Amino acid sequence: MAYTKYSLTPANNNAAPPDGAPEGMLPSAVNDTMRDMMAQIRDAGDGIRDGTYTMTAPKITGGTITGATINNSAIGGTTTAAGAFTTLSATGATTFSGATVANTFSSSGATITGGTINSTAIGGTTAAAGKFTTLEATGVTTVQAGTAALPAITTTGDTNTGIFFSAADTIDFTEGGAATGQFDSSGNFKFNSGYGSVATAYGCRAWVNFNGTGTVAIRGSGNVSSITDNGVGNYTVNFTTAMPDVNYAAVGSGFRAAFSAAEAAESFTNFLVGSVNALFATGSSGAAFDTNAYSVAIFR
Amino acid sequence: MTKRIIYPNNNGGVSILIPTEEYLAEHTIEELAAKDVPVGKPYKIVDGSDIPSDRTFRNAWEYQE
């Protein structure tokens, strides 16, 4: 950096030629001094261009920087290059072109369109394949309606089995591309369980199995809070959750070894939303009797 | 043995209410009495062992206050 031998104070550049131009210098020394100055100007220019010189407080206003690097990170140019910034902030729009964002990318309002996340396409106008290890949403997750052949919710390798939505307020199930079940818009559950078609299933709303001999005891039950032993062959079945009305169907059976099956007769009376009275008698005489295997089921 | 609830029935006899395990898993015997004993009927909560196992004269059983 020989140019630094010159002083910023013109009067001080009075060293002997060619390093300076003192008062009364010989004319023969003028050209030597000028040549020296030309060489120093060239040297300084080359130093700035080649990066030989360190600029301690450069100020660049306007213009275009192309093909250069900042701390070994290429900026601009026509090809990507490796490099890292400790932090990088932009207050305006930032475009990543062909870039990989590693570790943490934080944004309060970024829009990502047409790119990929871990090789999974996002956005765009066409569906794309891809996998996430886990996928969680704290809000509502919406899927397409799907069909029996291509259900909206399915599993890898068996994409014709799953859940689809054939109509508003309706949830459908499909297996092997054929509809096998449905919750319709009225809340009815329909299934094909060997019927040959998907039809409404009417479930048993209550059931109980009890021993009516000796110490009366309940073996098992569903939606039954209690049975009331009113006398020989006379029981009330009380429902835990009441029936919607009294138009339900009650079926029952009673078995006792002393009687043949043909002699046993079961009947029901006092149909209430909360209970029904079950009577067991012999078919031949009509006499009430106790058995050790009463079964009652309620359908609605 | 589980509790039983007894109350007089309209035929002059006694009705015996046998609770299910499923109901007692979530409710008390008192709640069951409030739900399944006919309104206005007096009732008692007794041990199941207090109920005779010989039902020969079941229809002659009576409720005693």
End-to-end Cα spacing for chain A:
102
Residues from A contacting B (CB-CB < 8 Å) are 208, 210, 213-218, 221-222, 224-232, 236, 238, 240, 274-275, 290
Beta strand segments in chain A, E: 69-70, 73-74, 116-117, 120-121, 153-155, 158-164, 171-175, 178-183, 189-191, 199-200, 204-211, 217-222, 224-231, 234-239, 249-255, 264-269, 275-282, 293-299
Nearest to B13 among A218, A226, A231 (CB): A231
B22, A221: Cβ pair inside 8 Å?
Answer: yes
Beta strand segments in chain B, E: 3-8, 14-19, 44-47
Please report residues of B whose CB lies closer than 8 A to that of A281: none
* pLDDT, position A90: 72
CA neighbours closer than 13 Å in the CB half-sphere of residue B30: 0
B17, A218: Cβ pair inside 8 Å?
Answer: no
How many beta carbons lie within 10 A of that of residue A27, not counting itself? 6
Q: Is residue B36 over pLDDT 80?
A: yes
Closest CA to A79 of A92, A69, A90, A64: A69
Please report residues of A whose CB lies closer than 8 A to that of B59: 231-232
Residue A1 structure tokens: 């950096």
Give tens-digit pLDDT for A11-51: 999 999 999 999 999 999 999 999 999 998 888 888 877 77
Q: What is the ipTM of this complex?
A: 0.91
**CB–CB of B13/B62 below 8 Å?**
yes
Nearest to B58 among A217, A221, A231 (CB): A231
Q: How far is C-alpha A276 from the chain's CA centre? A: 48
| Eight-state DSSP code of residue A138 | S
Q: Helix (H, G, I), strand (E, B), or coil: what is residue A242?
A: coil
Q: Helix (H, G, I), strand (E, B), or coil: what is residue A21?
A: coil
Alpha-carbon distance A247 to A271, whole Å?
A: 8
Residue A236 structure tokens: 């009330």
A214, B21: Cβ pair inside 8 Å?
Answer: no
Give tens-digit pLDDT for A65-104: 666 666 666 665 555 555 566 676 777 776 666 666 666 6
Please report residues of B whose CB lies closer than 8 A to that of A218: 18, 20-21
Q: Is residue B23 over pLDDT 90?
A: yes
Give mean pLDDT in consecutive 10-residue pieces for chain A, a chain of 300 residues. Answer: 82 92 92 92 84 75 70 58 64 67 67 64 55 80 95 95 97 96 94 87 93 91 96 95 96 73 76 95 79 91
pLDDT-derived band at B16 (thresholds 50, 70, 90) equals very high
* pLDDT, position B42: 96
* pLDDT, position A181: 95
* pLDDT, position A121: 63
Q: What angle do CA A216, A222, A225 make, to 5 degrees?
A: 60
What is the overall mean pLDDT for chain B? 94
pTM of model > 0.90: no
DSSP string across A92-130: S----SS----S----SS----S-EETTEE-SSSS----
- Tell me how close the Cα of A270 comes to any Cα of chain B, in angstroms: 13
Q: Helix (H, G, I), strand (E, B), or coil: what is residue A34?
A: helix
